């Protein structure tokens, strides 16, 4: 599968669609999920065109990978999530129901998130 630049996150990055922005730097953009599944549900996306965890982690330059994860941690800190805890998740491929084919991290927080894998739930 090749990267399709018409995906919704690419359109957000180009400013064609608005987002509820939390954080942005040269490597990443973070914004609130449009359909939150927890009191805090944030998406962090890299600025580059990468399909998935596999694509990003294997193909992106090292500074982009480091910059992206540093940005995700800044989002966690900015939102003050360390005290209560949080969950980071990256859906990848069909079994994980990845809907948007631009790599992204979900950050969930703000309540007891339950056990790690619950079918149909966060
Ligand atoms: P995934 O299943 O991991 O690909 O998750 C995609 C996520 O993107 C879902 O949680 C959606 O609610 C979210 N989403 C889709 N469109 C938008 C949008 N325009 N703004 C913010 N979040 C979105």
- The predicted-structure confidence for 59-75, as pLDDT tens digits, reads as follows 999 999 999 999 999 99
Q: How many domains does the chain have?
A: 1
Q: Does residue 73 contact residue 28 with C-beta atoms inside 8 Å?
A: no
pLDDT of residue 115: 87
Kindly state whether residue 83 falls inside one of the protein's structural domains. Answer: yes
Kindly state whether residue 21 falls inside one of the protein's structural domains. Answer: yes
Kindly state whether residue 121 falls inside one of the protein's structural domains. Answer: no
Kindly state whether residue 115 falls inside one of the protein's structural domains. Answer: no
Kindly state whether residue 114 falls inside one of the protein's structural domains. Answer: no
Q: Does residue 82 contact residue 73 with C-beta atoms inside 8 Å?
A: no
Kindly state whether residue 3 falls inside one of the protein's structural domains. Answer: no
* pTM reported for the whole predicted model: 0.96
- 33-59 tens-digit pLDDT: 999 999 999 999 999 999 999 999 999
Ligand 1 atom 17 nearest Cα: 34
Task: Check which CATH number belongs to the domain holding 30 and give it.
Answer: 3.30.428.10
Q: What is the DSSP string of 33-74?
A: -SS-SSSEEEEEEESS---SHHHHHHHS-HHHHHHHHHHHHH
Q: Which domain holds residue 24?
A: 8-109
Kindly state whether residue 119 falls inside one of the protein's structural domains. Answer: no
Cα 118 to ligand 1 centre (Å): 19
Kindly state whether residue 122 falls inside one of the protein's structural domains. Answer: no
Neighbouring CB atoms inside 10 A of 34's CB total 10
Pocket of ligand 1 (CB under 6 A): 8, 17, 19, 33-35, 43, 91, 97-100
Question: Using 50, 70 and 90 to split pLDDT, how confident is the model at 1?
Answer: confident
Cα 33 to ligand 1 centre (Å): 6
């Amino acid at each position: 599968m090749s990267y399709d630049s018409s995906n919704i996150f690419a359109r957000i990055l180009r400013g064609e669609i608005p987002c509820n922005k939390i954080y942005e730097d040269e490597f990443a953009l973070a914004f609130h999920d449009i359909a939150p599944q927890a009191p805090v549900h944030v998406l962090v996306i890299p600025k580059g065109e990468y399909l998935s965890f596999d694509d990003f982690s294997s193909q992106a330059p090292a500074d982009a990978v480091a910059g992206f994860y540093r940005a995700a941690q800044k989002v966690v800190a900015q939102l003050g999530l360390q005290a209560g805890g949080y969950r980071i998740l990256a859906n990848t491929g069909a079994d994980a129901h990845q809907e948007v084919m631009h790599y992204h991290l979900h950050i969930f927080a703000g309540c007891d998130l339950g056990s790690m894998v619950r079918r149909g739930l966060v």
